[in-house]
Amino acid sequence: MLQIVIEDKNTLYRKGMEILLEQIFLREEGEWVEFLPLTEDHVAVADVIVKNFEPGESYICNSVLRGRKSASLLIGIYEGDTNPHFGELPLCVNNIVFINRAESLSKTRALILRGWDNRAQTAPRNSRQTCQGCLHRTLSPQQVKVAAHFYRGYNPEKTASDLQLNVKTVCAHKRMIMTKFNLYSDCELLHFLDGLKNQKLTPNVFSEFLAGN
């Protein structure tokens, strides 16, 4: 029996994905499936993980996915026109198939089947359980300060005054953050920072800075 973990904020989409995955693996692969909620224990035994990814989230260390077993398939659901896959991804999200929430049923099915067929080829990369050498992206100390001011709703002038920086320097740091995490709007940046603040990272420098300042 295949273990499938699903985490998605849209209840209707999640139910539709369950039906589709059951059809794919039961009817086409001959495998019964069991659906589980997203927890570290369930991720450790899951054959397939379906998770919603907010803008920029696929580039940061995702602690709940660190314990994925080798050859598991990760399906990343995203919204909007920006494909989250840009450059190298962290080890915990290797072997991932990104699917747009608005994608057609036939294309979604094809992407899942392709990912399932190809997962064994990339399994050796997933077998590394250590974070050493992982290419997850982080904020520099100065970017943490600028990002925290933006997250609190401060404009560039206020941020520059508080941090004793030039306004152009503040704007440059903001652009670098958005480029680093493939973000295209202030709304995406705010969603990303909110997710980063709540990530279970050790240490979570952004969250710690917000709490201490």
The pLDDT value recorded for residue 127 is: 46
Residues 108, 114: Cα–Cα separation, whole Å: 10
pTM above 0.85, yes or no: no
- Residue 208: the pLDDT is 92
Mention every residue, 6+ apart, whose C-beta is less than 8 A from residue 39. 5, 64
Q: Between these two residues, 123 and 91, which has the higher pLDDT value?
A: 91
Tell me if 136 is assigned to some domain.
Answer: no
Q: Calculate the dihedral angle through the C-alpha atoms of 35, 94, 113, 9, rounding to the nearest 10 degrees.
A: 40
Are the C-beta atoms of 111 and 105 separated by less than 8 Å? no
Structural domain contains residue 166: yes
Q: Are residues 151 and 113 both part of a single domain?
A: no
| pLDDT reported for residue 187 | 92
Q: Are 151 and 174 found together in one domain?
A: yes
**Which amino acid is located at 186 in the chain?**
D
Could you tell me if residue 179 is inside a domain?
A: yes
Q: Answer whether residue 102 is part of any domain.
A: yes
Tell me, yes or no, whether 32 and 115 share the same domain. yes
Whether pLDDT at 24 is above 60 = yes
Look at the chain and report how many structural domains it folds into: 2
126, 156, 186 - which closes a domain: 126
Alpha-helix residue ranges (DSSP H) falling in 72-140: 105-118, 123-126
Mean pLDDT of 68-97: 82
Amino acid, single-letter form, for residue 85: H
Q: Are 65 and 73 in contact (CB under 8 A)?
A: no
- At residue 128, the pLDDT reads 45
Q: Residues 8, 78: one domain? A: yes
Domain at 145, CATH number: 1.10.10.10
CATH label of the domain that carries residue 86: 3.40.50.2300
Query: Which H or E run contains 50?
Result: strand 48-52
- DSSP of 164-208: T--HHHHHHHHHHHHHHTT--SHHHHHHHHHHHHHS--SS-HHHH
Whether residue 23 has pLDDT greater than 70:
yes
Percent of the chain residues past pLDDT 90, beyond the cut: 61
Could you tell me if 56 and 24 lie in one domain? yes
**Together in a domain, 159 and 208:** yes
What percent of the chain clears pLDDT 70, i.e. is strictly above it? 92
Q: Is 118 found in the same domain as 70?
A: yes
Same domain, residue pair 117 and 163: no
pLDDT tens per residue, range 98-119: 999 999 999 999 999 999 988 8
Task: Identify the residue with better confidence: 104 or 27.
Answer: 104
Which residue segment(s) compose the domain that 87 sits in?
2-126
The confidence score (pLDDT) of residue 126 equals 45
**95, 126, 157: which is the final residue of a domain?**
126
Give pLDDT tens digits for 46-78. Answer: 999 999 998 888 888 887 888 888 789 999 999
Q: Which pair of tokens denotes residue 64? A: 């709940």
Which of 10-19, 38-47, 62-71 has the weakest average pLDDT? 62-71
Nearest to 9 by CA among 55, 65, 52, 58: 52
Given pLDDT bands bounded at 50, 70 and 90, which one contains residue 89? Answer: confident
What is the separation of C-alpha 150 from the centre of its chain, rounded to a whole number of angstroms? 21
Residue 132 in domain: no
Residues 145 and 59 in one domain: no
Q: At what angle do helices 11-22 and 105-118 cross, to 10 degrees?
A: 60
Q: Would the pLDDT of 129 be above 70? A: no
pLDDT value, residue 198:
86
Question: What pLDDT was estimated at residue 64?
Answer: 85
Please determine, for residue 125, whether its predicted confidence score (pLDDT) is greater than 60. Answer: no
Does residue 116 sit in the same domain as residue 178?
A: no
